[in-house]
Structure 1
Amino acid sequence: MSLVDGNEEGDYLSYKIAVLADIHGNHEALKSVLKHIDGTGDVEHIYCLGDLIGVGYQTNEVLDKLFSRNDISFVRGNHDQDVLSIIDGEKPNSKGEEREHHHWIASNLNPSFIPKLRSIPYTLRRQINGVSFLFLHYHMKKEPQFLPVNYDPSIDELEKLYHHEQSKVVCFGHHHVVHHFKNDHQLFINPGALGCSHNPTAQYATITVGDKGNINTSFFEVPYDPTDFLQGYEQLQVPARDFILTNFYGNQHIK
């Protein structure tokens, strides 16, 4: 399914990017999305908005797939940071079952991926076809402190958060649902969670910047088969699996 906003007609020098968020260690969903992106043939670059790992358990498969490509830029998410904190012998922000889960993820992480994870910044700023973009995992007061999730956001609240921000387009994730807010001078995009859904679909977005600075945004839901992935939680005895399967995947494994 796609939802399209804008008009590309006449944009002969347009530049298209894909925006992914919240892969959450789900290699099956990631493979389907990358195949879908590669099949379009016109995406110039991919921006990944953090939470590459955690929740899902396919950490090494996801990182191997992502880091093997040279067309992806990353920002760091809270799950990425919590796992790195554990690896560095520091106290993560996660608690209870979530912290136990992060310890399990850290203990199963291929050490060769750690330097690359550590190199990922919290924010990226880019000029794309003359339009300024800000990429981050979620709203922050200051690095590395993410604000609590606002489950009922509005354009007025986003304007207040970013009233000093000069970027015309702000892309973020963390809250796993699609956001598309705009006013006369800014556009706020959340592509939705790629790796966590109560349906067997993986979400992402594309943003096309035209030669005159006009912007076209499309949202996609790519179908995939999550059966083996969901069954793996029990087979591997992944910590917090009951909570994860219920709250992040809607117990699809028993439907």
Structure 2
Amino acid sequence: MIGIGPFSNEVLDVLFERNNVKMITGNHDESVLALLNNEPYPESRINVKPHHEWIAARLKKEHISNLENLPRILNPTIHEHNLHLIHYPMKQSFNEDHISEDPFDLTGMPSQKNFSVIDGISIFSLVCFGHDHSTHHFICNNKTFFNPGSLGCFNEPFARYGIIDINKNGFNVMPQYVPYELNFYVSELSKTSIPRKEIILNIYR
């Protein structure tokens, strides 16, 4: 929800004003919160630190409080189907690790091989995740893993997300593409002073 762009407050304004949306944290959210709370910052992301410091310095106080109250994992049950929603699948022993320990990076790239050794998720039939910016949809150990791809880090003028249609007989995973004004976003991004701006702009070129 924050990071990879200078408009974190605008995004969070929209999300937190809704009462029908549930959210989880990811590595950018947790890294910025670590800076704000004077906690250890992930050494593996030290080159991103100026970017996160810029965001932290401008984040609205109410958004900081709201982000701190978000969970890392959601496990809803819908029509007797157990879902596991997490920024990136990981072994159960890593679930509570601080962001400075890079828990989202310990599993390896999305694959049947890497995900087959994850414990603590046997009761789930569907695991939805992000972190890796590419689209993934495969079955491993009788469960479906789905990542619609990054919503914003995409060099085509479409926002990607997924709809999961669930009923008592099963579920259907439907990737979605919604057009948006990519050129306008890139133009506005170019006017900012955010660190690593050129690296971000290269994502959209």
Q: Is the 8 A contact 1:179 1:188 kept in 2?
A: yes
Are positions 1:73 and 2:30 aligned together? no
- CA distance in 2 between partners of 1:234 and 1:63 (Å): 21
Segment drifting more, 165-174 vs 183-192: 183-192
Amino acid at match of 2:79: N
Alpha carbon RMSD of aligned pairs, Å?
1.7
Alignment of 1:93-132 (within 5 A): 93=42, 94-96=45-47, 98-132=48-82
Residue in 2 that maps onto 1:56: 5
- CA distance in 1 between partners of 2:38 and 2:162 (Å): 36
Of 105, 113, 116, which residue of structure 2 is paired with 1:147? 105
Amino acid at match of 2:196: A
Aligned residues: 195
Residue in 1 that maps onto 2:143: 186
Of 224, 242, 252, which residue of structure 1 is paired with 2:198? 242
Residue in 2 that maps onto 1:170: 127
Amino acid at match of 2:118: L
Q: Is the 8 A contact 2:89 2:115 kept in 1?
A: no
Amino acid at match of 1:92: Y
Taking structure 1 as reference, are residues 149 and 174 closer, same or farther at Cα in structure 2, changes over 3 Å only?
A: farther
Q: Is the 8 A contact 1:179 1:191 kept in 2?
A: yes
Taking structure 1 as reference, are residues 85 and 235 closer, same or farther at Cα in structure 2, changes over 3 Å only?
A: same
Structure 1 unaligned blocks of 5 or more: 1-51
**Which string of whole-angstrom CA distances, capped at 9 and with x for unpartnered residues, describes residues 39-75 of structure 1?**
xxxxxxxxxxxxx100111111100100111111111
Residue in 2 that maps onto 1:138: 88
- CA distance in 2 between partners of 1:175 and 1:200 (Å): 19
**Which string of whole-angstrom CA distances, capped at 9 and with x for unpartnered residues, describes residues 194-224 of structure 1?**
1110111110001111222x11111011111
Amino acid at match of 1:57: P
Taking structure 1 as reference, are residues 133 and 84 closer, same or farther at Cα in structure 2, changes over 3 Å only?
A: same
**Which string of whole-angstrom CA distances, capped at 9 and with x for unpartnered residues, describes residues 144-196 of structure 1?**
32224744x33233222247532111111000111111157311111111111
Deviation (angstroms), 1:228 = 2.4
Residue in 1 that maps onto 2:31: 82
Taking structure 1 as reference, are residues 225 and 164 closer, same or farther at Cα in structure 2, changes over 3 Å only?
A: closer
Q: Is the 8 A contact 1:139 1:147 kept in 2?
A: no
- DSSP-derived class of the 1:64 partner: helix
- CA distance in 2 between partners of 1:154 and 1:54 (Å): 26
Structure 2 unaligned blocks of 5 or more: 98-102
Of 134, 157, 161, which residue of structure 1 is paired with 2:118? 161
Taking structure 1 as reference, are residues 163 and 116 closer, same or farther at Cα in structure 2, changes over 3 Å only?
A: closer
Amino acid at match of 2:24: V
Q: Is the 8 A contact 2:78 2:166 kept in 1?
A: yes
Identity of aligned residues (%): 34
Amino acid at match of 1:218: M
- CA distance in 2 between partners of 1:118 and 1:181 (Å): 32
Amino acid at match of 1:215: F
Q: Relative contact order: is structure 1 or structure 2 higher (C-alpha 8 Å, sep ≥ 6)?
A: 1
